[in-house]
Homo-oligomer: A and B are copies of this chain.
């Protein structure tokens, strides 16, 4: 697929049509490509556990995150309702020496390691499966495809494509680097791993490692390596269940069209129905894979079933 950078609307429209899964799983579908992740795939994934070692693929949730206020996205604010200092001073009013601590969090659901729900992006007023966006996501939340519907299903075979190591320099791709289908397939070949229907694909660019070393800078929304718009056909045709990256926005930034904003999202979420993960921390898993050469594993990445949410923080766990 080639890309005409001066025709964003036409390109997006043609790609959307070519990649559409609307109606594929019926009128009432609320799962999108998660339908590809079936019981057979889970059996296949579980069989990959050989050493029993587990990895968290989540960044920490705290004030030291990358958010700067764009779209009113802040970093998580965690406050205490009761503390050990209170308990130590004996002022909590509980009997027989028991003391307690309790806490609260305030956070945008897109603030850190997360899944985009199917109601997160629209194309010309259309949400996943062709529904009118105003019938789906109101001020009360996503009334149709809320992330709670996915609660039980995001567990299966995970595959890491460490494009940063396979294609980049020093294990990292530079900001603005567009990852093409060729990069993805070359990386899989280099890893000796296959990607197919129902898989959860993790693409490491190395940008998070760079941000940790150099400071967040514009990690939340600025220039970044990421998937090229031209991978839409591969995302659709490979029949993967989900994809996640170590970057803020999954696709390459700046976007490849003039004056565009996340055109691959515009195809992938409302038309393909693809579950997209962002800001995942793939560092420790990737180091392990580089050592043992095994790039497939059991992966559980369960969104919190927040009713009507268009996204969810997540702590994905990979087990090899």
Please tell me if the beta carbons of A96 and B56 are within 8 angstroms of each other in the complex.
no
Near B by CB (< 8 A), chain A positions 129-169 give 132-142, 148, 151-155
Protomer copies: 4
B residues near A98, Cβ cutoff 8 Å: 121-123, 261-263, 265-266
Known contacts: A155-B319, A298-B46. The answer to whether A101 contacts B69 by CB under 8 A is no
B residues near A91, Cβ cutoff 8 Å: 85, 134-135, 138
Please tell me if the beta carbons of A82 and B88 are within 8 angstroms of each other in the complex.
no
- Chain A contacts to B: CB under 8 angstroms: 8-9, 12, 38-43, 46-47, 49-56, 58-64, 69, 71-91, 94-110, 119-125, 127, 132-142, 148, 151-155, 257, 259-263, 265-266, 298, 300, 302-311, 313-317, 319
Please tell me if the beta carbons of A50 and B56 are within 8 angstroms of each other in the complex.
no
The 8 Å CB contact of A43, one of B52, B61, B77, B305, is B52
Please tell me if the beta carbons of A105 and B104 are within 8 angstroms of each other in the complex.
no
27 contacting pairs across A/B (C-beta < 8 A): A38-B52, A42-B54, A42-B319, A43-B49, A46-B52, A54-B153, A63-B72, A78-B141, A80-B141, A81-B139, A83-B138, A84-B122, A85-B89, A85-B134, A87-B122, A87-B125, A88-B125, A95-B260, A96-B260, A97-B125, A100-B122, A101-B120, A101-B122, A101-B133, A103-B108, A103-B109, A103-B311
